[in-house]
């Protein structure tokens, strides 16, 4: 090795080798830090799956308008509180569902709470469920109470398998299980073996004295 080559080698060892070693140390530290951070999370599922009991969405006060096939508003859903837990359906409190079928009277349903399934487009009302339908020239207002009721936002059907009480004018009907069609105003009561429906019908006309 001649004198010039030796000088260049010594210069490189003195000024460049420390930088190379420093860079290698930084890379090793960075790799070690990344491994340390990710090693405990490698097999951990997202919190949405691991902690479905944790709230991931909350709102105070909500109103949603659902349109029908013709583009007109078919349902107006309001709630004072909405809570969503992980991958579960949304939970609503103090719920009101107003159905506005074309050519039919408006029906309003209320309940203490509800479960909204966006996958099935069904609202499950629970607790002090009340449904009121406005009067028409052909029929007096309808009032129905039960403990739970399902409302299909796409099939326009309100139904329950629980006992209910329905009054329309002076007429009163009690029974178990019903299915009400918002579009046609048809209501089917009972339907299974053992179901009994009891009615007190007075054939009262709208506006008659009570």
- Number of structural domains the chain divides into: 2
If asked whether residues 30 and 68 sit together in one domain, one would say no
If asked whether residues 88 and 179 sit together in one domain, one would say yes
Residue written as tokens 């009561």?
A: 189
If asked whether residues 167 and 68 sit together in one domain, one would say yes
Establish how many alpha carbons lie within 13 A of residue 88's alpha carbon, considering only the half-sphere containing its beta carbon.
18
If asked whether residues 22 and 85 sit together in one domain, one would say no
- Over residues 154-184, the pLDDT tens digits come to 899 999 999 999 999 888 999 999 999 998 9
Q: Is 190 among the domain residues?
A: yes
The answer to whether the CB of 113 falls within 8 A of the CB of 129 is no
If asked whether residues 31 and 64 sit together in one domain, one would say no
In angstroms, rounded to a whole number, what is the distance separating the alpha carbons of residues 167 and 131? 11
Q: Is 114 exposed, middle or buried (0-12, 13-18, 19+ CB in 10 A)?
A: buried
If asked whether residues 165 and 129 sit together in one domain, one would say yes
If asked whether residues 133 and 160 sit together in one domain, one would say yes
Q: Is 120 among the domain residues?
A: yes
Average pLDDT, integer, range 102-123: 92
Is the pTM higher than 0.85? The answer reads no
Average pLDDT, integer, range 13-27: 61
Sequence-distant (≥ 6) Cβ neighbours of residue 46 within 8 angstroms = none
Rg value, the chain, Cα: 34
Cα–Cα separations (whole angstroms), residue 208 to 133, 168, 169, 202: 19, 13, 9, 11
If asked whether residues 78 and 22 sit together in one domain, one would say no
Name the least confident of 40-54, 77-91, 192-206: 40-54
The domain of 66 spans 51-200
What CATH number corresponds to the domain at position 194? 2.60.450.10
């Amino acid at each position: 090795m001649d004198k010039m080559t030796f000088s260049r080698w010594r210069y490189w060892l003195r000024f460049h080798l420390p930088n190379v070693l420093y860079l290698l140390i930084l890379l090793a530290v960075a790799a070690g830090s990344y491994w340390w951070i990710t090693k405990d999370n490698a097999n951990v599922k997202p919190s949405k799956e691991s902690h479905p009991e944790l709230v991931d969405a909350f709102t105070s006060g909500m109103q949603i308008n659902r349109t029908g096939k013709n583009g007109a508003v078919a349902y107006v859903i309001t709630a004072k509180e909405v809570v969503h837990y992980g991958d579960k359906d949304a939970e609503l409190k103090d719920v009101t569902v107003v159905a506005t079928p074309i050519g039919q009277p408006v029906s309003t349903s209320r309940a203490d709470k509800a479960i909204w399934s966006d996958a099935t487009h069904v609202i499950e009302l629970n607790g002090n469920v009340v449904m009121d339908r406005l009067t028409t020239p052909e029929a007096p207002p309808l009032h129905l109470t039960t403990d739970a009721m399902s409302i299909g936002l796409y099939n326009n059907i309100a139904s329950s398998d629980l006992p209910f009480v329905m009054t329309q004018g002076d007429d009163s009907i009690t029974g178990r299980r019903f299915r009400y069609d918002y579009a046609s105003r048809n209501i089917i009561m009972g339907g299974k073996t053992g179901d009994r429906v009891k009615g007190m019908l007075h054939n009262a006309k709208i506006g008659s004295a009570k």
